[in-house]
Structure 1
Amino acid sequence: MKMPVLAGISALAAPMLVAGLVLAQASGPVSSLRGVDVEDTVDVGEVYQQLEGRQVRNYRQQPPVIPHSMTQYQIDLRTNQCLSCHDWTNAGERGAPTLSMSHYLDRDGTQLDTVAGTRWFCTQCHVPQANAPELVGNTFEPSSSLH
């Protein structure tokens, strides 16, 4: 009973695949998201430089921005080079800010000696600061300025 069903499905799948390929070819050439032909070169806009020094936070518990370049830092499943300076075991001798204690709590609130897996990828919350224009309009005002 199963063999005729599988044969019927495979007999229908091949013509459907061919029909899909024909439709895809007939829909026209591939277009670029950049708005120009794929072969055309596009001028790169201004490259914004990394700002040095710490920035003031705008609200309580705002993740601080990264005040240095991240271009040579490796962060993957096995390695997190941020911890070479910012882990509590190294921060004092390196003169770097220590990670918040919240980075050492697991999902259940258990205190750990190493960074929790949920806090391993620093750039989920922390971004390098740069002197670049806003990509999206923003009317945010810190709560301290509303008094």
Structure 2
Amino acid sequence: MATLAAAQMVPQLSGPPQAMETVPARPMPKWNVDDIRKMRAYPDQPPVIPHSIEGYQLSVNTNRCLSCHRREFTEGAGAPMISVTHYMTREGQMLADVSPRRYFCTACHVPQAEVNPLVGNTFRDMSQMGVEHLGGK
């Protein structure tokens, strides 16, 4: 009897139960594939990927990004070289190859899609705020 009284005193945590519905999926967004390097929104922002990476293999054994962006392949591919920081250990020691901690590119770099932002952005660059570059007039 005490259990029934306690259940009546506890407020309901959710609304009425709803039947599971089948909702049509939204169409996949179109990726920006213009190959134009984008302005970064803030210092040290990882560059976005300005091309499609659909079908790229990125695993422990294979990294298709490096076939164009690795230091020795950039001239032939016309791709920007990955940052020298990707060839360093955490302690700053230079390596002959990409650091294992920088190997999975999409952990930081993402392709861009033609979608509306989920959250408004009021970011303004320092130059838009009237701050001049060092040595500026």
TM-score, normalised with respect to structure 1: 0.68
Structure 2 alignment gaps of length 5 or more: 1-16, 131-137
Q: How many residues align?
A: 112
How large is the Cα RMSD of the aligned pairs?
A: 1.9
User: Which of 45, 49, 56 is equivalent to 1:62?
Assistant: 45
Runs of 4+ in 1 over 3 A off after TM superposition: none
Cα displacement (A) at 1:141: 2.3
Q: Which runs of 5+ in 1 are unaligned?
A: 1-30
- Partner of 2:109 in structure 1? 126
- CA distances 1:71-99 after superposition (whole Å, capped 9, x unpaired): 11111122111000000011111111001
Give the equivalent residue in structure 1 for 2:62.
79
Structure of larger gyration radius: 1
Shift of 1:46: 3.8
Q: Residues 83-94 of structure 1: matches in 2 within 5 Å? A: 83-94=66-77
Counterparts of 2:19 and 2:23, CA distance in 1: 8
Distance (whole Å) between structure 1 residues aligned to residue 127 and residue 52 of structure 2: 29
State the identity %: 44
- Structure with bigger helix share is 1
Aligned-partner residue type, residue 45 of structure 1:
R
Q: Which residue number corresponds to residue 42 of structure 1?
A: 23
Give the structure-2-normalised TM-score: 0.73
Note closer, same or farther for the CA distance 1:144–1:106 as it changes in structure 2 (3 Å cut).
same
